[in-house]
Structure 1
Amino acid sequence: MGIQGKANLSVGWITLFLMGTDLFVVSPLLPFISETYKVSPETTGWMVTVFAVTYAFSAPFFGWLSDKKGRRTIITFGLLLFAISNVLTAFASSFLWLIVSRILAGLSVASVTPLIYAIIGDIAPPKRRGTWLSIVVSGHLTALWAGAPFGTILEYFLSWRSVFVVMATIGAILAVVNFKTWESIPKSDSTRKLVEGNMLRILGSVSVTTIWAISMYALYVYLGAALYSENRFSSSEIALAITFYGVGAVLGGLTSGKLTDKFGEKKVSNATLIFLTLILICLGLFFSSGGWVYFLLFIWALVGYAGFTSYQARLVVEYPKERGIVMAWNNTALYIGITIGSMIGGYVISIWGYSLLPYVCSIAAVASFVLSTQKVNNQKKDQLFQ
């Protein structure tokens, strides 16, 4: 890997780390924001909801636009909007303006995150594409266990508003850095309209990510409450468990890249879904086993996010001329899966309790595997017909 390649990956990693931090840092800050604006915690939670909904609906548009106008312009615009939206969040005079600022933040992140994946897929050497994608994905995943705690520490010494001021400042700097970094990257040469069967094929492909997200987040959303209920974990023990999960997610994403480059995207993505099913069953059997749960959470995240990273690489290979829109739709599918997963998890808890959640997630993992292999079979038939 040359100096230019390392520079590109570094910029991509840092940018995705910032985008992930903006996503994950809000949750631990909600109590302080709620107190500032004198609203209930449930109402404050709309900050997360409007962000996620805006992201899910706007990401495909930015992906399509980047395939037409070039990724560099859209990424730079997104980072400038990111800086503006976080300044508005920091200094919002009312809760209504706070919600407006988070809608703008959702737009900004939707115009950056999937396009970083796409542009790395554009420039990566074909035999190293899996490794390159796994590196930048690890930036987003690192925010899961490092970005959010850093924001919490910053709030402790200064205020919750300072967290968003810092992110806005870094976003403005990264707008300039990204504009210079992707200067020599040519625009996509795709002029095909994504209509008729091609769009249906894309939606079928990204639906695998939706089911995968259900298998991960139906339990993860309620993980803290489940650990307290089933194991009587203290707050520090829950934090340690989340750390094990976060480290497993980062390592899974990184190791997946090399495995993908060696064995191929389809083999690795399908194999990880099989192992994910087995791990979730084991997690269900030994969830109340005390210390063993740390190890199981680590393995769960390791296998789960290895599958997510390899599937991203698979989509990049299968859609070489529509990477922008495919990565955008894949991120939308991810958010839809997270939302559905949280709803399913809440329903399961209300009727059967926490102990059944890992088994429900394992069923989703099996469904994702079946859908993934079915997609491969359909592609082989299409190629044979052609």
Structure 2
Amino acid sequence: MSSHRTSTLSVAGYPVWLLCLFVGMLALGTDEFVISGILPDVARDLGVTPGTAGLLVTGFAIAFAAGAPILAFLTDRLDKKAVLTWSLVIFAVANAAVAISDDFVLTLILRVVAGLAAAAVSPTCMVIAGMGAPEGKSGRYLAVVTAGLTVALFTGVPFGAFLGDVLSWRATFALIAAIGVLVAALSAVLAPSVPGGPVTGIAARLAPVRNPRVLGLVAAMFLSGAGGLMFYSYLGTIFTEQLGATAGDVTVALLVVGLVGVVAVFFGGALSDRLSPRPARLIVLGGHCLALGALAAYLASGAGFGLTLFLFVAVWSVFAWALSPVIQAGIMSVADDQPMLAMSLGISGLYGGSALGAALGGYLVDNYGPAAIPLVGTVWLAIGVACALVRPAPTADTAEDATEDTEAPVSTNTAS
């Protein structure tokens, strides 16, 4: 593939291959979350209880979170374009098989396979986007990819659930499989080739695991997932049980979060490009913590449901959804020669934090009430800010780049 071809095929100023990655991430996000909306039909069709059918969600999520760093390590030396293409093919085949499976155990295994394939696709998309971006635009390119997951929450997931209701839940997975095949084909033709890492020993390939700057950002991602996504997971519960809102009010609030979130993702990418990653994440992480703290204070004050609450939620959404491209850009900037493993650790941190937040949120609701969720979440976020901003003491290996003030988005200009 010539660089001329990838530079001339563009839409709205972005290369077509980047928009393909966006659609791929949209399919991944839909595949992960859509089953919650069609779970009763899946359970009925496969002859299990809804609780048992919920393992299809758990299996995918665990495979995604645990598989990302493992697969990043195993595929480190391979061309990222090849990894992306074949992972998408496996993802599509697994979803197509789910669409025709009549056995629950087989369906569960296929969901795990789809989760592992998604675990390979997601960080690979981010590496190709970040390293294939023109100089000074890696943050914006990462934002486009990240936006796929955000858009899936309020477009792909509802549409998938609607399709399952009108036709069949099997049609939903068949559509996801078809999108996977399409994106794989387009990526194979259009996406830039990003070579794998150099042939090195295992110790060198595991360098991000020992890099305190990478681990600090992964910890910040984990704590942000535990604090911020805990609030998002229980937003409906907080609105209805704490404030007496209706189901329609909750729907409007989720729509606000989704719409603001899409804009916020691109805001995070642009901010990371305009500033260096360190001040960008100070703004986003600090704003996230303050916004959730303001929501906690609002709920503690006894104020009722109204426009002010929606404004607080909208402001929180800006920082919550801007976080991923900012942190991932920072991880790339300090990952040295192992961006794939480093960024997969960031993804695992986010999903692991989300899982912890969901479990902790349930405990808080049952024992302390919904208002405790944003309060505890703010504490988690404050710790996350500290993890992201602390500078480790320079060692012999890091003395030459001990300061983070010179961090800049990484780009190899492979797409231009």
TM bracket, shorter-chain basis? over 0.9
Structure 2 CA distance, aligned partners of 1:186 and 1:69?
Answer: 9
Out of 22, 28, 32, the position equivalent to 1:19 is 28
In structure 2, the partner of 1:200 is: 210
1:70 is aligned, of 51, 66, 79, to 79
Aligned counterpart in structure 1 of residue 157 of structure 2, from 124, 148, 153 = 148
Matches within 5 A, 1:42-53: 42-53=51-62
8 Å CA contact 2:292–2:316 kept in 1: the answer is yes
Q: Which amino acid aligns with 2:8?
A: I
C-alpha contact 1:248 1:300 (8 A) present in aligned 2: no
C-alpha displacement of 1:236: 2.2
CA offsets 1:234-288 (integer angstroms, 9 cap, x no match): 2222111111111222111111111111111110112211111211121123345
Question: Equivalent of 2:91, from 78, 82, 88?
Answer: 82
Partner residue in 1 for 2:385: 369
- The alpha-carbon distance between structure 1 residues 220 and 198, as it changes in their structure 2 partners (threshold 3 A), is closer
1:191 to 176, 185, 199: 199
CA contact (8 A) 2:288 2:381 kept: yes
Contact in 1 for aligned 2:227/2:381 (Cα 8 Å):
yes
Deviations 1:316-363 (A, max 9, x none): 121242111111111111111111111211221121110111011100
Shift of 1:68: 0.5
Residue aligned with 1:102, SS: helix
1:321 and 2:337 correspond: yes
- In structure 2, the residue matched to 1:311 is 327
Q: Does 1:295 align with 2:300?
A: no
The change in CA–CA distance for 1:236 and 1:38 in structure 2 (over 3 A counts) is: farther
Which segment is superposed worse, 135-144 or 219-228?
219-228
**Is residue 269–residue 307 contact of structure 1 (8 Å, CA) maintained in 2?**
yes
Task: State which of 276, 296, 303 in structure 2 corresponds to 1:284.
Answer: 296
Structure 1 consecutive aligned stretches of length 4 or more whose deviation exceeds 4 Å: none
- 1:113-171 superposed Cα distances (whole Å, 9 cap, x missing partner): 11100111111123111111112211221111111111122122211111001111111
Q: Which stretch shows the higher mean deviation, 190-199 or 243-252?
A: 190-199
Given that residues 244 and 295 in structure 1 are in contact (C-alpha distance below 8 angstroms), is that contact kept between their aligned partners in structure 2?
Answer: no
The answer to whether the Cα contact below 8 Å between 1:260 and 1:310 also exists between their aligned partners in 2 is: yes
Alignment of 1:1-386 (within 5 A): 2-4=7-9, 6-182=15-191, 184-193=192-201, 195=203, 198-201=208-211, 202-287=214-299, 289-291=304-306, 292-374=308-390, 376-378=391-393, 382-383=398-399
Specify whether residues 215 and 359 from structure 1 end up closer, same or farther in structure 2 by C-alpha distance, changes over 3 A only.
same
Kept in 2: contact 1:62–1:74 (CA 8 A): no
Counterpart CA distance in 2 for 1:266 and 1:85 is 39
**TM-score normalized by the length of structure 1:** 0.93
**What are the ranges of 5 or more consecutive residues in structure 2 without an aligned counterpart?**
1-5, 403-416
Distance in 2 of aligned mates of 1:193 and 1:227: 53
Q: Residues 157 and 277 (structure 1 numbering): CA distance in 2 closer, same or farther, change over 3 Å?
A: same
Moved more, 71-80 or 285-294: 285-294
TM-aligned CA deviation for residue 8 of structure 1: 2.3
- Letter paired with 2:241: S
Letter in 2 for 1:64: F
RMSD: 2.1
Displacement of 1:79 after TM fit?
1.0
Deviations 1:190-244 (A, max 9, x none): 3344537652224443122111111112222222222211122222221111111
Segments of 5+ residues of structure 1 without an aligned counterpart are none
Distance 2:129 2:216 in 1: 23
Q: Percent identity?
A: 24
Checking the alignment, whether the CA contact within 8 Å between 1:79 and 1:112 is kept in structure 2 is yes
Give TM-score scaled by structure 2 length.
0.87
Contact map agreement 2:78 2:197 (CA 8 A) in 1: no
Is the partner of 2:76 in helix, strand or coil?
Answer: helix
Cα distance in 1 between the residues matched to 2:129 and 2:173: 27
The answer to whether the 8 Å contact 1:89/1:102 transfers is yes
| C-alpha displacement of 1:2 | 4.2
Partner of 2:409: none
How many Å apart are 1:73 and its aligned residue?
A: 1.5
